[in-house]
């Protein structure tokens, strides 16, 4: 009633949520077993940045949107160069895509289906 059956697998969100909450409680429990004898205000509470000093200017720390996934976009640069070239912003090209899709659809429907 509550879940979904696909005939192949099943999905029960309530059970999943209960499990998720259970694991969350477990994780919090493990966390609460951690050491409490660390010294505040010393190097023990500092952020560990591969041994580098933590920069003081907080404003400069924010990673801006274009810098995220730089590596991935760079790795896919061949794909992105081609796909961006298709989105020219020129209306005539968009109309050409429409005519092309129409022609292709005719060919498929009349010849194949």
List residues binding another protein (CB under 8 A).
Answer: 1-4, 6-9, 11, 13-14, 16-17, 20, 58-59, 61-66, 68-69, 72-73, 76, 79-80, 83-84, 86-99, 101-102, 105-106, 108-110, 112-113
CB of 48 to another protein, least distance (A): 20
- Minimum distance from residue 14 beta carbon to another protein (Å): 6
**H-type alpha helices, the chain:** 13-32, 70-75, 77-86, 91-107
34/60 with CB nearer another protein: 60
Contact 33, 40 (CB under 8 A): no
Nearer to another protein, 36 or 87 (CB): 87
The burial class, CB within 10 Å (0-12 / 13-18 / 19+), for 100 is: exposed
Which residue, 28 or 72, has its beta carbon nearer to another protein?
72
C-beta separation of 2 from 11 below 8 A? no
Give the phi and the psi of residue 11 in degrees, each rounded to 5.
-140, 120
Minimum CB distance to another protein smaller for 15 or for 28: 15
């Amino acid at each position: 009633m509550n879940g979904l059956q696909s005939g192949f697998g099943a999905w029960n969100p309530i059970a999943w949520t209960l499990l998720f909450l259970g694991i969350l409680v477990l994780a919090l429990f493990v966390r609460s077993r951690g050491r409490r004898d660390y010294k505040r205000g010393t190097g023990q509470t500092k952020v560990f940045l591969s041994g580098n000093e933590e920069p003081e200017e907080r404003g400069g720390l924010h990673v801006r949107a274009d810098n995220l996934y730089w590596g991935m976009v760079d790795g896919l640069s061949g794909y992105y160069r081609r796909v961006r070239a298709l989105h020219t912003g020129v209306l005539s090209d968009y109309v050409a895509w429409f005519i092309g899709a129409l022609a292709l659809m005719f060919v498929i429907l009349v010849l194949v289906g």
